[in-house]
Amino acid sequence: MTLAAVNLIPRAYRERRVVLSRARRWMFGTVALASTVGVAWAVMSSRVVENRQWLAGQLVAARADAEEKSRLVAEAQSSHSAALRRLASARAVAGHPDWSVLLALLARARGEGLVLERVEVRPVVKTEPKNESESNANGADTRAALHSEPLYQLDIRGVAESQSLVAQYLLSLERIGLFDSVRLQETKPRTIGARGVVEFGLDCAIAAGAKANSKGSSRSAGVNSDGGPGR
């Protein structure tokens, strides 16, 4: 004969143990899940920091590269401008203009009460592209400079007894017909010793080879190559 097993532990106590066991399992599971999430968050945070540092390094490198390219462009532009100036100077030397004729004209045009202190001559390139397609093509500025007409810019400085003498001298230079343009740059009062005078500056432009280097141009202006009156 088989005897049935009898559990003498009270039912309420057994149910309480089951509930406590389930609670412990839920607690352990929650702690494990929280730990896993924490580890994953820590890993992701470290990777985000690493990515930010990498992006910052890339940004610094890009900025340095952009600055280097800007410096190279500026150097290229400076070299291009210097080449154009050398080209203008070479053309000016090749033209061999007779500056004594020009100086004689400037001295001849002034009247009493006006003194020239400085006459500076410098070549200037006037860039004029031959056609529209050439101006839009790559390197158009260089080709325009090669085909442009060189000019000479005259910077005339001096003093006069009055403003009217400066105006008369400017008109005299215009009437010569040698200059493409004559422009009054500035006038200002100045004292020489105990005497008040007017200091002035003039800008004159002349084509190189059109009139400046020929004796015929000086005769047409009213003087010959030695500075005397033309016949």
Sheet with 181-192, edge to edge strand ranges: 114-126, 149-160, 195-207, 181-192
Query: What is the predicted pLDDT for the residue at 26?
Result: 87
Model confidence band, residue 93 (pLDDT cutoffs 50, 70, 90): low
Interstrand relation of 181-192 and 114-126 (parallel, antiparallel or unpaired) = unpaired
For 204, the enclosing helix (H) or strand (E) is strand 195-207
Task: Give the separation between CA 215 and CA 202, rounded to whole angstroms.
Answer: 24
Task: Give the separation between CA 6 and CA 10, rounded to whole angstroms.
Answer: 11
1-42 per-position pLDDT tens digit: 566 666 667 778 778 888 888 888 888 888 888 888 888 888
Model confidence band, residue 89 (pLDDT cutoffs 50, 70, 90): low
Closest CA to 103 of 114, 94, 116, 92: 116
Query: What is the predicted pLDDT for the residue at 157?
Result: 94
Q: Higher pLDDT residue, 72 or 8?
A: 72
Query: What is the predicted pLDDT for the residue at 149?
Result: 55
Q: Which residue has the tokens 């002349």?
A: 206
**Residue 216 pLDDT exceeds 80:** no
Global pTM value: 0.44
49-59 per-position pLDDT tens digit: 778 888 888 88
Task: Give the separation between CA 231 and CA 223, rounded to whole angstroms.
Answer: 8
The identity of residue 181, as a single letter, is S
Q: Give yes or no for a contact between 113 and 165, defined as CB atoms under 8 angstroms apart.
A: yes
Q: Higher pLDDT residue, 85 or 75?
A: 75
**Residue 143 pLDDT exceeds 50:** no
